[in-house]
Amino acid sequence: MRIDVLTIFPDLFTGFLSTSIPAIAIEQGRISCHTHDIRAYAANKHRKVDDRPFGGGPGMVMMCQPIFDAVKAAESQDSELRAVRVLLTPQGERLTQPRVEWLAQQPRLTLLCGHYEGIDERVIEELKPLEISIGDYVLSGGELGAMVLIDAVARLQPGVLGHEESAAEDSFSVRSTDGAHLLDCPHYTRPREWNGREVPDILLSGDHAAVDRWRDAQRIERTRERRPDLLQNSPLAEAQPLPAANNNKPAAQVARANRSHASGEVGGLLGQTAPEGA
């Protein structure tokens, strides 16, 4: 996949593209990423890329000409590859994993980063980009959105993660049998006890089928508690008996809860959601 980024801050991408997953994807030749400084395409001698808004108001608006010429120049390279154009904007469709998966399959992306109050609407109409927002909060420009999108599509390129299961099993890619997206289960590594907190016994049992069942139950329970919106229209929204969870609780408290649970007492750790001392 070829990615072109149009921005007035190309330097922001230097560290990002030389580090972590995108760097691996680039090194492996799975993606190539080219930044283009919109300012270099300004036709005026002051390299001006913004101007005051017609109708008045605060801030500045990015002008059509430098953006249009930058897109045409970028897309004239490797022009046999047909680009999907993406404008990062707070007015866009919210970026979700299904959209990331679709974008990751395209041969080429042209990412357009806005700044200031926004972009002259006429160049948006002319370029007809897909408009994408990365969430309901205010950023100062589209660059961080472009980096989020590049990271998300780079890690889905075949061979990039090495450990192919990781991408498929992450939060938002794990699905239950009825198709609902589920959050990830908790993870543990050595030591078996840390700060008085023990790893859930089931993970030390060596019973792989039981571990799989416990992890699925955790995924469902955490999704129900933290992101019930993901379970809209799913039968998983209804409570069902789950294997006991002693994770992240001090060992003594877990022992106490398990004893009371064994004696038929209600109100053990199942269903407890408030942090300690809350």
Catalytic sites, residue numbers = 90, 117, 155, 170
Cα separation, 21 vs 155, whole angstroms: 6
Shortest spacing between CB 89 and ligand 9D3, in angstroms: 5
Minimal distance, residue 34 CB to ligand 9D3, in Å = 20
Give Cα 44 to chain centroid, integer Å.
38
The residue whose Cβ lies closest to ligand 9D3 is 145
Is position 89 an interface residue for ligand 9D3 (rule: CB under 6 A)? Answer: yes
- 88 lies in the site for ligand 9D3, by CB under 6 A: yes
- d(C-alpha 113, C-alpha 141), whole Å: 7
Supply the DSSP symbol for 237: G
Which long-range contacts link 30-33 to residues 24+ away (Cβ below 8 Å)? 30/1, 30/154, 30/157, 30/158, 30/159, 30/160, 31/1, 31/2, 31/3, 31/150, 31/153, 31/154, 31/157, 32/1, 32/2, 32/3, 33/3, 33/4, 33/5, 33/150
130 binds ligand 9D3 (CB under 6 A): no
Judged by CB under 6 A, does residue 7 bind ligand 9D3? no
- Going by the DSSP 8-state scheme, the letter that residue 205 receives in this structure is S
Measured from the CB atom, the residue of 22 and 114 that comes closer to ligand 9D3 is 114
Q: Does 118 bind ligand 9D3 (CB under 6 A)?
A: yes
- Find all residues with CB under 8 Å of 133, minimum gap 6, and list them: 88, 89, 90, 91, 92, 93, 94, 95, 145
Q: Does 129 bind ligand 9D3 (CB under 6 A)?
A: no
Report the DSSP beta bridge partners of residue 110.
4, 85
**Region 205-224 residues binding ligand 9D3, contact defined as CB under 6 A:** none
Q: Which among 31-39, 112-120, 176-184, 227-235 is the span making contact with ligand 9D3, rule CB under 6 A? A: 112-120
Sole window of 16-24, 46-54, 137-145, 158-166 interacting with ligand 9D3 (rule: CB under 6 A):
137-145
- Residue 145 C-beta: closest distance to ligand 9D3, Å: 3
CA gap 36, 256 in Å, rounded: 61
For residue 148, the minimal CB distance to ligand 9D3 (Å) is 8
Question: For ligand 9D3, which is the closer residue by CB, 129 or 145?
Answer: 145
Residue 250 is given by DSSP the state B
Residues binding ligand 9D3 (CB under 6 A): 88-90, 114, 117-118, 133-135, 137-142, 145
